Structure 1
Amino acid sequence: MTITKKFKSILVLTLIAVALFASGCTEENPSAEEIATQMMDKQDSIQDYSYTMHMTSYAEGKTEEIECKYMFKKPDKFKEIITRPGEGDQIDVSDGEIAWSYFQDTNTVLKEKLPNNSGAPKEDYINTINEFLNDHNVTLLGVESVDGRTAYLLEIIPKETDRDYELISKIKIWVDQETWMPLRYEFYNADGNLTDKNEIRDLKVNTGIPDSEFQFEIPDGAKIVDLGEIKPYEELSLEEARNRASFKILTPEYLPEGYKFSYSIITNNSEYSSDPDSHYETVELIYAKEGASIKASIVLTETVYKNASTYSIFMSNGTDVKINGTEGKYVSGEAKTLRWKLGDINLLLGVPLEEDEIFKIAESISEKS
């Protein structure tokens, strides 16, 4: 999960939780439609915002820190600068039509044309809210000050029947009273230990951010990789995917209990990208757990690039590890990912479970599978 997507998920969760109390839920539970209306009204009042986010992950006795400077302007402009200690910055910018990602370590730019997006309709909010209310207990613990702003302190605990949270037993969120935006949030595991802490500082809202902030200037000498436009995907069976893919799809021999293959997605940008050197084909395999939502799924992504050097762009971040003797990169924290390569196939495995499970799955994947 990218930092932007992760924050958006937390933002939606926060808006729902605050709307519960703004609606007076301690006396009478509001309907999902009433909460959705309040959320959309609050979001309508915000035209732009910016902040600096400090993220800290605690896992396996190690502490990892990331800083992200972010700004957003309606309807769909954003810019983020991600800084990791000892590594070059990553810069992501979008003017609403083109998204650019710059990797300083490799002096490489990824360019992608964005599909038309009219925004989430009210019905989507209602469905999300209903799912949230069924899966969580929310408690208002009090009011505190965070970075000079008054904030609600909320505690969110997944219900025992919720299968989506194998690693998270509790979330604490400090929410700005004025904007309903999260100023700080913490994740705790089943042992009560803090696993992730995220703090937002220097939050500014409706300052009139100019459009020029979202124009990207290509650095001197940078290599440009044109990814074209990602089209809507089609869900395929494993057999259908194998018939369509131009390479042999690898599958894990081991899956945690309760998980099974759900569907696959194939992306091939040669149909719409004008840059032959940037052509790639990706097969995404989704393994779901019965009774759990898609966010609890295991996702195995396999990509073959026409220009093999492109893969080095994605291998610059993470901890060096080995999978069956093959070098790879592991990123810990709430969203665990593992990258490595078998032959011409570049693999990315995302697992919302314990670290030993992600390595057991990876080690069960071979070119013979």
Structure 2
Amino acid sequence: MNTQKLTLILLITSLMLFSAGCIGEELTAAQIAEEYQQKQANIEDYSATIYMTTYLGEQEITSISSMSQKMPDKTKTTIIQAEQGEGMIMVSNGKTMWTYNPDQNSVMAMNLGSMGDFDASQMDYTGIMQDFLDDNDYTLDGIDTVDGRGSYVISIKPNENSTSGLVVDMKTWIDRETWMPLKFEMYDNEGNLMIVTEYRDFEVNTGIPDSEFEFEIPEGAEVVTLDGLEDLIPEEVTLDEAQELSEYDVLVPSYITEGYEFEVATVNNNTQFFGEVQETVSITYSKDSEALRISEIFYGEESPTIMENRGEIVDINGHEGQVVSSPFGDDYASLSWNIENARMIISGPVNSDELIKIAESME
């Protein structure tokens, strides 16, 4: 399954689930899918300002971006406020996608022609809808307003048999007119609010011109041209090959949780896209369908400070680290720590003691 198809499936599945809650559980998947397609067929373009707040312990981090889309394949996003990437612009006219980094005055231009073999009209909307209805419990909580627009409020919880990929409780506000999501709230497994995303200044069918989705390359900008998404995907290699390819000292654990075996490694040179991150090395160990992942992110200068979170501060061979439980459950956690110019991250379906033991063996 190609990346575009996967992304569209996730989007359609989410929106269809939300619309199902709006009109009642008694409707069949086929009826919901038909109603959804009718609503979407009336949308020619839309735009909004997106506010996303992430809650990390006592910290609240808010990012703001503007977004516009013209059906079926034109889109533009500008990051207005963010901890990183402020001012970045991503534009697609359906044939080419441009990503502009103002800090570096660099442009990544990617040809989208390789994605042209995917026809959204051939998707099995009814089957997708039925799978999601089977996997999740949802309730219509009432009617509210978001930025002046009437909205249905829906709570969604994955049930015990869920295979859909939704792993956290979610509340969403759905525009009554268009069935477009206007607000999301996501909660961890202890009921703590993690993320709030809100679409403000939402407008639909305003006649956005095609010229809005063209990009004029700034004078003097460095341009990197990619033939497709494949150029962004690093080659899979062995551990020995990863150590040879990397410009840095790659740390490999001498201890790994019982049952897990090395699966694959990748080395990704990021300098042409992200100036602050020089290289990313990823190592995956697997057991059946589960995976332990180690990421080693190398920066040109000192690695950024680890943000305070709802986690436990631990010592990793003299370096301060942080263990954070995730919404996946008590036996899924993530550990991060810094070593000079490198950020080390281990995550997987094991407890914190196992993560610390793995980390301490990486010398």
Structure 1 residue aligned with 2:139? 139
Structure 1 residue aligned with 2:224? 225
Structure 2 residue aligned with 1:38? 35
Contact 1:252 1:361 in 2 (8 A): no
Residues 19-58 of structure 1: pairs in structure 2 closer than 5 A: 19-22=20-23, 24-25=24-25, 27=26, 30-31=28-29, 33-58=30-55
State the Cα deviation string for residues 138-167 of structure 1 (Å, max 9, x = none). 10001111111110000001224548566x
Could you state the TM-score of these two structures normalised by the residue count of structure 2?
Answer: 0.68
Contact 2:316 2:360 in 1 (8 A): no
Structure 1 residue aligned with 2:62? 65
Change (3 A) 1:243 1:20: same
Change (3 A) 1:257 1:36: farther
Distance 1:100 1:337 in 2: 34
Q: Which amino acid aligns with 1:18?
A: S
- Report the CA distance between 1:318 and its aligned residue: 8.5
Residue 105, structure 1, aligned to residue 106, structure 2: no
Contact 2:293 2:348 in 1 (8 A): no
Q: Which amino acid aligns with 2:79?
A: I
Structure 1 residue aligned with 2:78? 81
Q: Which amino acid aligns with 2:67?
A: Y
Contact 2:13 2:132 in 1 (8 A): no
Structure 1 residue aligned with 2:199? 200
State the Cα deviation string for residues 178-203 of structure 1 (Å, max 9, x = none). 11111111011122111111111011
Contact 1:349 1:362 in 2 (8 A): no
- Report the CA distance between 1:303 and its aligned residue: 9.7
* Ranges in structure 2 where 5+ consecutive residues have no aligned partner: 1-5, 270-277, 309-314, 329-333
Change (3 A) 1:351 1:202: farther
Change (3 A) 1:226 1:123: closer
Change (3 A) 1:94 1:158: same
Contact 1:253 1:364 in 2 (8 A): no
Q: CA RMSD in A?
A: 5.2
Contact 2:48 2:201 in 1 (8 A): yes
State the Cα deviation string for residues 297-327 of structure 1 (Å, max 9, x = none). 76667899xxxxxx769x899969x997999
Structure 1 residue aligned with 2:174? 175
Change (3 A) 1:245 1:312: closer
Residue 150, structure 1, aligned to residue 146, structure 2: no
Contact 1:59 1:333 in 2 (8 A): no
Contact 2:242 2:265 in 1 (8 A): no
Residue 94, structure 1, aligned to residue 95, structure 2: no
Contact 1:254 1:360 in 2 (8 A): no
Change (3 A) 1:302 1:56: same
Distance 1:208 1:222 in 2: 31
- Report the CA distance between 1:79 and its aligned residue: 0.6
State the Cα deviation string for residues 29-76 of structure 1 (Å, max 9, x = none). x13x44333333332221211101100000132211100100111221
Distance 2:36 2:357 in 1: 39
Of 114-123 and 247-256, more deviation after overlay is shown by: 247-256
SS of aligned partner of 1:106 = coil
Contact 2:108 2:226 in 1 (8 A): yes
Q: Which amino acid aligns with 1:15?
A: M
Distance 1:234 1:95 in 2: 23
SS of aligned partner of 1:19 = helix
Residues 226-265 of structure 1: pairs in structure 2 closer than 5 A: 226-231=225-230, 247=245
Distance 2:64 2:95 in 1: 26
State the Cα deviation string for residues 100-150 of structure 1 (Å, max 9, x = none). 111122222222212233343554544543442233101000111111111
Number of aligned residues? 335
Structure 2 residue aligned with 1:273? none
Could you state the TM-score of these two structures normalised by the residue count of structure 1?
Answer: 0.67
Q: Which amino acid aligns with 1:98?
A: T
Give the percent of matched residue pairs that are identical in Structure 1 and Structure 2: 32
State the Cα deviation string for residues 221-249 of structure 1 (Å, max 9, x = none). 3222233323499999876x978997379
Distance 1:205 1:337 in 2: 43
- Report the CA distance between 1:82 and its aligned residue: 1.2
Q: Which amino acid aligns with 1:91?
A: I
Change (3 A) 1:244 1:103: closer
Distance 1:286 1:121 in 2: 36
From the CA coordinates, give the structure whose radius of gyration is larger. Answer: 2
Change (3 A) 1:316 1:250: closer
Change (3 A) 1:283 1:59: closer
Structure 2 residue aligned with 1:18? 19
Q: Which amino acid aligns with 2:213?
A: F
Q: Which amino acid aligns with 1:92?
A: M
Contact 2:22 2:154 in 1 (8 A): no
